[in-house]
Each structure stands twice: as C-alpha cells, then as structure tokens.
Amino acid sequence: MLQIGKYSLRNNVLLAPMAGITDGPFRRLCAEQGAAYAASEMISSDALLFATKKTKHRIERVENGLPHAVQIAGSDPDAMADVAELNVRFGAEVIDINMGCPAKKVCNRAAGSALLEHPDLVQRILAAVIARVSVPVTLKIRTGPSPACRNGVDIARIAEQQGVACLAVHGRTRADRFKGQAEYDTIAAIKSAVQMPVIANGDISNAQEAAQVLAHTGADGIMIGRAAQGNPWIFKSITEQLSGRPAPVAPSLTDIHATVTTHVSGLHALYGDFTGVRVARKHIAWYCKGLRNATTFRQRAYEAESPDEQLAVIDAFFSHPDAFCAVA
C-alpha cells in the first residue's frame, strides 16, 4: 500500500499534475476511473497571482475521495511557506512542490526544474515549507538540470533529510524537456538511495510499460501524465492489469460520449461560457483521436461559440458519426 503521510492510497497509479489540464473536472474523472492521487495544477507562490480567479479554481477541493493535494511553485523559501500555509488553511491535505516543470516562463523565474541547479536553495525551500505546515509535503523533480548533470540522487537525499513524504521523478532532465525517451536508471538509483516512497513518471502509457518501469526502478508507484489526456480510463486499465486481472473492455462510443459530455460540461461550469468552450477544445481533440471522422468533428467542435452549441456538436457526432464525413 502506497503511503503519503497519514494517507493510504488505494493503489499505486497516480495522475501527474499538468498545467492547464488537471483542473477539477479532469481530476474528478481520473479519480472515478481509479487514479489514487491527483494533485492540482501548479500555482505560483506569487501572492498577487494567488488572489486571481484563475488561481482560485486550481486550489478548490474536488470531491473525488482522494487527499486534497495542491501543487505550488516558486523560488523564494518564505513565499513558498506562506502559500503552503494559506493553502492548508483553505483545506489542502497535502502540499506538493514543483521542481520538475521545464517551461521557460517558470524556469526563467528560477522555479520549477531550474531549482535543480541550486541544491542549497532546494534545501531551504523544503525546510521552510515543511516547518510551516502540519500536512505531508511531497516533491516532484526531474533527474537533473541536464544529461551531463543528473543530480537527482543528491536532490532526493536532501528531500528525505528535510522530511519530504513522497518523491515523484520524471525520467528526463530539464534540458530534455519532453524530447527523446525517458530514462529510468536514475530513478532506480534514487529509489536505492532513499527510504521514502518514490514514484516513477515519464512515457508510461499502458500496463505493460507500467510493469516494466516498476520492475526496472523498484519504484513504489507510477505517475501518468500525457497518456491520460483524453483517456481517463487508463487508470482502471493499468491498475486492473497490475493486480493480475484481465484488461477492462475498451470504452465504447457510448462510454466516450458520456465522459466527454460530463467533462466538457464541467469545464463550462468551472470557467464560464466563453473560456470554458475554448478550454474544452483541446480535450475534445484528445478524446476523439483515432475515431472515424474525428477531423471533421474536431473542426465543428472548435467552431462552436457557446456551451449549448459545443455540446450539440458532441451529441450529434456520437449519435451519428457517419454524418461527419464532410464539413457542412
């Protein structure tokens, strides 16, 4: 059983936090399909950003039966501690610290994976946050700043010494971004070096890959990111097969229709009509990937300007997909 502080997770397959993707509606769907843990999207430690509507929805509790985990990012130890404390006051049950994001706009502020170049600052941030809150603090990192400097083991030891409850490691360096293939040797070395739970992340898209990564690294669990986009069913598929049970039947068009409708309706409710319709577009594209006449369906869904129109396009496609053989 995977343990994060006092929380016993129901399995060892977790959803990776992804900016602009793992909002409340998506986390709820993934939890329903078996994800054992689903932290919020990353939020900045900047107190001014904290008060914005865009940030507030990221930290709101989602009733999904999982520990309410909020991911924070920043480079100032005191500011990070302040935001962690504030989130706990608002109901966060786990604080997750992002030191893995490779995005330039994050790294240019010396946050995210840029921190891996500064182990002393990593130590001060972790110490400040853990001293300030009474809930478990987790950490997500990459294997290092660059292939020439994979210092993940050193960072992991610092994290354990400061009291981090669980460590997730993406098998690429900051310089790699999302290019090439994830490597798991560094994750295996990290797992051998520390006693705290270690979660392996990167290029895991099915149960076979999950089993191989777990065997190779000795990790306590895996974290699914991009492979869950448009595919929340992946959690049930992987957890069932890792438990020795047969792979679940693939979702039918009826199942996909119901899930897309629930997800898109949730986005409309969360973001409002204008923004919700636009946020939904990328999710619709992911859900329909590989389906017959998906290109035409995607185009019409993108052209929709209101929630009712977008939902009507979804209903029309899944009810009569053959009618989408050409653009009207």
Average pLDDT in the chain: 90
pLDDT (tens digit per residue) in 111-138: 567 899 899 999 999 999 999 999 999 9
Q: Give the residue-averaged pLDDT of 139-151.
A: 91
Q: Does domain 3-242 have CATH number 1.10.472.10?
A: no
Q: Can you tell me the distance from the alpha carbon of 57 to that of 53, in angstroms, rounded to the nearest whole number? A: 7
> What CA–CA distance (Å, rounded) separates 143 from 99?
10
Active site residue 149: no
Q: What is the pLDDT of residue 108?
A: 47
Question: Where is average pLDDT lowest: 46-50, 76-80, 235-239, 249-253?
Answer: 46-50
The pLDDT of residue 1 is 78
* Res 68 pLDDT > 60: yes
How is the chain split into domains, by residue range?
A: 3-242, 253-320
Residues 64/93, Cβ–Cβ less than 8 Å:
no
Same fold, 3-242 and 253-320: no
CATH of domain 253-320: 1.10.1200
Work out the average pLDDT over 276-301: 93
% residues pLDDT > 90 (the chain): 74
Sorting pLDDT into bands at 50, 70 and 90, what band is 328? Answer: very low
Catalytic residue among 101, 107, 166, 288: 101
Look at residue 109 in the predicted model and tell me its pLDDT.
Answer: 54
Considering only 1-15, 94-108, 142-156, which range has the smallest mean pLDDT?
94-108
- As given in the structure block, the two tokens for residue 316 are 């029309």
